[in-house]
Amino acid sequence: MISPEGKLIAVDFDGTIVEHAYPKIGDEMMFAFATLKELQKKGHRLILWTYRDGDYLQEAVDYCAANGLQFYAVNENYPGEMLTGNYSRKILADIFIDDRNVGGFLGWDQVWQLLHPEGKEFSFQLQNELAHYNYKKPGKRKWF
């Protein structure tokens, strides 16, 4: 079920869902599939957002499916997106979960607690509100 309060969450594969072993598929990161399935139950739409393509991408999609995880979209903003001409490869997501974050991957237990503290409704807290201070000033351009 897709909730109107649900967020679009882009999730990397190598180093995030599984340990790094590219082009092979590494072992599952602890709690990855359990957390991702719980995020879906909360109404979030998950996009697999990965550098993989071709057969390597299909292997990742199949691996996730074999572990009970179907994505809303794969390397696209929505299912069946038609890309023509010049376009940005960046996915339009509310949240990105990736091992290349500043400071590295937090771990699925911390991701869950950041997004759904104690399993409650979505509650995203900025890690550094001061860094976003200018975007909140009246009359200033709002980027998000």
Q: Where are the domains of the chain?
A: 8-136
SS3 track for the chain: CCCCCCCEEEECCECCCECCCCCCCCCECCCHHHHHHHHHHCCCEEEECCCCCHHHHHHHHHHHHHCCCCCCEECCCCCCCCCCCCCCCCCCCCEEECCCCCCCCCCHHHHHHHHCHHHCCCCCCCCCHHHHHHHHCCCCCCCC
Query: Average pLDDT of the chain?
Result: 86
Percent of the chain with pLDDT over 70: 86
Judged by average pLDDT, the poorest of 3-12, 79-88, 116-125, 131-140 is 131-140
Judged by average pLDDT, the poorest of 23-27, 71-75, 83-87, 110-114 is 83-87
What's the CATH code, domain 8-136?
Answer: 3.40.50.1000
Higher pLDDT, 102 or 96: 96
Q: What is the mean pLDDT of residues 21-50?
A: 96
Give the pLDDT of residue 125.
72
Give the pLDDT of residue 132.
65
Percent of the chain with pLDDT over 90: 60
Structure tokens at 91: 């996915």
Give the pLDDT of residue 123.
78
Grade residue 126 by pLDDT with cuts at 50, 70 and 90: confident
Structure tokens at 28: 């599952």
